[in-house]
Chains A and B, each alone.
Chain A
Amino acid sequence: MPRYTVTIEDKEFDIVLEYHADRLEAVVNGKPRKIAVHKLGDTRSLLLVDNHSHEVDVRAAGTNGLRTVFMQGMEIPVTVENYSLAQMRKTAGISAGPSIEKMFRAPMPGLVMQIKVEPGQQVKAGDPVVVIEAMKMENILKAKGPAKVKAIHVSQGQSVEKGDKLVEFE
């Protein structure tokens, strides 16, 4: 039976999903929830949780179970882990979810204005990593998920091209 550990900010959910031929049942942190899903598009779905309606857009954000949920006008970074792997991770004493894409690259050409992290630093989803100035606008590039900084590949004042290595995570 699929069981997941889902992390949003500092909140953790233990979700068991039971798939029957014609329905989906969920137990969320021990409480049963009735679920219905209707696909609206490639990534969009109408999700009914205990008959409450939610339009959601769930997108994979890199590898390793990282997802972005667009819901009620908000963009919510979510980590979904296999429950038993998450348990093992916790036993091993690793604090956060699975690692995100190891190489943090420039999404646009621009000038590196600030580097907000240092090697060895632990970041969580939404933490600012690098500030790039492009077309007179400052763009804060944020961590997509929890990770530890391994190396920094650029310096302040350096101009970068799209796809250049910025910061490497462990």
Chain B
Amino acid sequence: MTRKINKILIANRGEIAVRVIRACQDLGLRSVAIYSDCDRAAFHVRLADEAYHVGPSPSSQSYLVHDNVIAAARESGADAIHPGYGFLAENAEFAQRCADEGIIFIGPKPETIRLLGDKLLAREAALKANLPVVPGADIAYDDDNIALDTARTIGFPILVKAAAGGGGKGMRVVESEELFSEALTSASHEAKSAFGDGRVFIEKYLAKPRHVEIQILCDEHGKCIHLGERECSIQRRHQKVIEESPSPIMTEELRERMGHAAVDIAKVSGYVGAGTVEFLVDQDLSFYFLEVNTRLQVEHPVTELVTGVDLVKEQVAVAEGKPLALSQEDIVMKGHAIECRIYAEDPASGFMPSTGKLKNYRIPAGPGVRVDSGVVIFSEIPIYYDPMIAKLAVWGKDREEALARCLRALREYRISGVESTIGFHRVVLQNERFIAGDLSTHFLEEEYPDNNYRRYRPELVENAAIAAAVDRLLTERKIVSSQSGAMNRAGSGWQSFYRRENLRNFGGSR
């Protein structure tokens, strides 16, 4: 059964809203933006065909309020809602509400979201689909002794994890038996206070794991394909910062096995739409199921760059009930793509958010460069939302070319007004271990234990000093020249100085 989508409301903000609006316009569909108080003039609002106010700046009073988002969809006459990632993207209740209201939710069915959103249920689904999972067991919190027995069987070190939620909350690495009981209790308490659910489970702790995930795409007619992998091992505080495809360790054989596994769990859970199956890959290349993200991922552009598939367009087609036009044989990965997440954060102070106005903003361009930016020059970076402002993704014929191109693009990127992670990416991309592809999820904490990314190179420091001294001289001269009229015959002395400089350097007279 197919249904035509004519107008899509994007229940999000920032770069992902911009990304989806662009897909709508590429498809000839109308796009509807929503915005909070502080996002009145945001870039996504400027690009969309229509825009509706959904409440005050805090997301809990605007972007997350089901009633307000549904009301905007009703008022605009949108027939579908694209949730982006974050906010309402993995909210089964909201997906159900859309269904009840007769609005198409561009994503999996509510029951699939509910199933895969619970780590324990997802693990059961993975076992049912014969996926390898990290050795471990589900335990009830009050079952201390049984838990210890299990931990002994698995072998220390082990990892204690909360069943609900993520982001490292309710997570503990336990090195030895003596520390086990206390870690279990404190992890459960933390999970209880963070997610209202104190259930924890334990699994084997892998010393040097890579995070490798498989992009899947399924239609409602039972067809499901995978679009290869993304390596996302460069993380801080369990959040990805650099992603690439293909993974430096990938072989055709391993890709096929992981791809099959991803498709298998999708089928078991009745998956419809685009999704991502996350795995940990150990040093011996054995892989273990981690979780399924039932949405478009932040890092989807690297897959788009190597496969040539527009994932958002595919999402829309699937949501319209169309059968997938692509088959597994159509998916051929070509070249190499790298993505750097550009955050308004200060890497040197533990990635603290940096808010303010973008006084200068210039994005890189040229061959093989794609920038998904949620901001433009003079945009305000509000304190209310995720500080990721843009994604830089590059393509090269191989990893070496992609790396060089990524560094080049970072060099071209200009941001002033707020701190950004551009300098951080430049440091990591020139790290020898990174260049060699020797990655693990512990990479950043191992290589930069004190967040010491700010290694100013000596010549940079000297040039910054010169720039500041010149600026002071110019400021002082300007004051002098405006005070003494004699210097103001043809504008200020400095204006004419600049004019001469420009003539001399760009006029080619020397």
Contacts and interface: CB of A to CB of B under 8 A. Distances in A.
Chain B interface mostly helix, strand, loop or mixed? helix
Give the interface centre of A23, A26, A55, A138 by most chain B CB atoms within 10 Å. Answer: A55
B71 interface: no
A123 interface: no
B420 interface: yes
Interface of A is mostly: strand
Given A22-B501, A39-B498, A44-B360, A74 B473 contact: no
Given A6-B469, A47-B466, A74-B456, A36 B501 contact: yes
B41 interface: no
A140 interface: yes
Contact of B423 (A36, A45, A72, A137): A72
Contacts of A140: 349-350, 352
B461 interface: yes
A13 B469 CA distance: 10
Nearest to A73: B422
A67 B476 CA distance: 14
A9 interface: yes
Interface stretch (B45-53, B119-127, B195-203, B410-418): B410-418
Nearest to B454: A74
Interface string B437-462: 00000000000000000101000111
B180 to A, nearest CB: 30
B476 A2 contact: yes
Interface in A19-52: 19, 21-24, 26, 28, 33, 35-39, 41, 43-45, 47-49, 52
A15 interface: yes
A18 to B, nearest CB: 10
Contact of A74 (B352, B360, B423): B423
Contacts of A58: 467-468, 471
A69 interface: yes
A80 B468 contact: yes
Given A15-B469, A72-B460, A41 B360 contact: yes
Given A72-B423, A76-B456, A108-B355, A28 B466 contact: yes
Contacts of A168: none
Interface residues of A, number: 60
Given A9-B456, A28-B466, A80-B468, A37 B501 contact: yes
A161 B497 CA distance: 45
A149 interface: no
Most buried by A among B410, B413, B414: B414
A33 B466 contact: yes
B472 A4 contact: yes
B463 interface: yes
A47 B475 CA distance: 16
Interface centre among B411, B472, B501 (most CB of A within 10 A): B472
B359 interface: yes
Given A17-B469, A17-B473, A139 B464 contact: no
A73 B470 contact: no
Contacts of A139: 352-353, 355, 383
A78 interface: yes
25 contacts: A4-B472, A11-B461, A15-B466, A15-B469, A28-B465, A36-B505, A38-B502, A45-B471, A49-B463, A54-B463, A57-B359, A57-B360, A59-B416, A60-B475, A69-B468, A70-B360, A71-B463, A71-B467, A73-B425, A74-B423, A76-B456, A80-B469, A135-B384, A137-B353, A142-B349
Nearest 9 pairs between A and B by C-beta? A73-B422, A70-B416, A74-B423, A58-B471, A57-B416, A6-B465, A73-B423, A78-B468, A13-B465
Interface of A: 2, 4, 6, 8-9, 11, 13, 15, 17, 19, 21-24, 26, 28, 33, 35-39, 41, 43-45, 47-49, 52, 54-60, 65, 67, 69-76, 78, 80, 107-108, 126, 128, 134-135, 137-140, 142
Interface of B: 58, 346, 348-350, 352-353, 355, 359-360, 383-384, 410-411, 413-416, 419-420, 422-423, 425-426, 454, 456, 460-477, 497-498, 500-502, 504-505
